[in-house]
Structure 1
Amino acid sequence: MNHTHTEKKAKPVAPKVKELIDRTKSVILATVDAEGNPNSSYAPFVQVENTFYILVSFMAKHTKNLSEGRKTSVMFIEDESATKQIYARERLTLEAATSQIERDSETWNTVVTKLKEDHGKVVDVISEMGDFILIALQPIKGSYVNGFGSAYFVDANLEIIEHRNDVNHQSK
């Protein structure tokens, strides 16, 4: 059986990245603690301009890691039930800088209002709890994948900057 490999020539446009984010309600978080131990979790998010915001409780391990500004990675990923190929789920993975937003600041009020609009009345309750803090996740760089052979580097503005074709898969 002869298989011909055809390289994808089409470069996805930034709206594809935006569409994935728009279809996603929560972000997967990868954080590390002071000893370098990894922790994975998730949180509902909203996007305001080019920054993602999450309202998280200190009851969760990831909140301390995020609040102390350690290295963080976030991932937006296509729902398993919607994917055509489980090995090639559409996803955006970003390195992100974190910062805590001051309670009752203009940014806090704007973002909490948007969280309420997007995620419902539960935000009214949790935003008033003292252990919940608002964290900004500012993209640094990352990658966007939307199929086999279709992986791209993205910049801090979530714009696709180049095809990740530097590694070729080898047959056994």
Structure 2
Amino acid sequence: MINSLDEFLEPIKSLTISSLDDKGNPFSSYAPFVKINHKYYVYLSLMAKHSSNLTKNPNSSIFFCEDEQDCKNIFAKKRVSIQCTTKRLEQNTNEEKEILEQFSKKFGNEMITMLHKMGDFYLFEFTPFYGEAVFGFGKAYNLGGKNFDEFLDRANFGNTGHGKK
């Protein structure tokens, strides 16, 4: 049993971002991430479609999923979906420097330095406001608590799960 959101996320290096374009159409892709102080960060080029989507519309969703080769049942992959508000951070600030240091620790300094030198990469910050976690059949939870990182039994919200029809 997974006991915490951080325990589930620990081996995961990337997340899937779902954003909305200027016509309200959904767009999904992935990006490497770091989590700091209960917020999630990605480093995106302004050329990436997500950059313009997230700049124009701060509503987004991020998704984490167990690797297929690690799952016991393809219909019950462990996964977490988190709805967020998003903002693009300013470049060349102490905040950017501190977050990029965490990216360097996780992914290697050489890659982050190269991306930073390109000049069109910005950090995007995802702040959770709702989430759900599924860790198998009958093991679905809402994310709650002050930082949306606690598993809350859905039965407490009137959801009784799978039943016979």
Give the TM-score, by structure 2 length.
0.89
- The counterpart of 1:128, out of the listed 112, 117, 123, is 117
Q: Is the 8 A contact 2:131 2:148 kept in 1?
A: no
2:106 matched residue in structure 1: 118
2:154 matched residue in structure 1: 163
Measured in 1, the distance between the counterparts of 2:97 and 2:56 equals 22
Assess, with a 3 A threshold, how the Cα gap between structure 1 residues 97 and 161 changes in structure 2: closer, same or farther. same
Residue 118 of structure 2 aligns to a residue whose secondary structure is coil
Q: CA deviation at 1:89?
A: 0.7
Deviations 1:2-28 (A, max 9, x none): xxxxxxxx9x64x2x211111100011
Q: CA deviation at 1:67?
A: 2.1
Q: Is the 8 A contact 1:103 1:133 kept in 2?
A: yes
Residue 117 of structure 2 aligns to a residue whose secondary structure is coil
Residue 87 of structure 1 aligns to a residue whose secondary structure is helix
Measured in 2, the distance between the counterparts of 1:126 and 1:114 equals 14
- Larger helix fraction of residues: 2
Measured in 1, the distance between the counterparts of 2:161 and 2:75 equals 17
% identical aligned pairs = 31
Q: CA deviation at 1:171?
A: 4.7
- The reply on whether 1:19 has 2:10 as its aligned counterpart is no
Q: Is the 8 A contact 2:9 2:64 kept in 1?
A: yes
2:46 matched residue in structure 1: 58
1:103 matched residue in structure 2: 91
**Count of residues paired in the alignment:** 160
- Aligned AA for 1:169? H
Larger Rg: 1
Q: CA deviation at 1:141?
A: 1.1
Measured in 2, the distance between the counterparts of 1:42 and 1:78 equals 14
Measured in 2, the distance between the counterparts of 1:32 and 1:167 equals 32
Gaps of 5+ in 1: 1-9
Q: Is the 8 A contact 1:31 1:65 kept in 2?
A: yes
Measured in 1, the distance between the counterparts of 2:162 and 2:37 equals 37
1:41 matched residue in structure 2: 29
Gaps of 5+ in 2: none
- The counterpart of 2:129, out of the listed 140, 153, 163, is 140
Q: Is the 8 A contact 1:55 1:132 kept in 2?
A: yes
Runs of 4+ aligned residues of structure 1 deviating over 6 Å after TM superposition are: none
Residue 159 of structure 2 aligns to a residue whose secondary structure is coil
Measured in 1, the distance between the counterparts of 2:67 and 2:122 equals 27
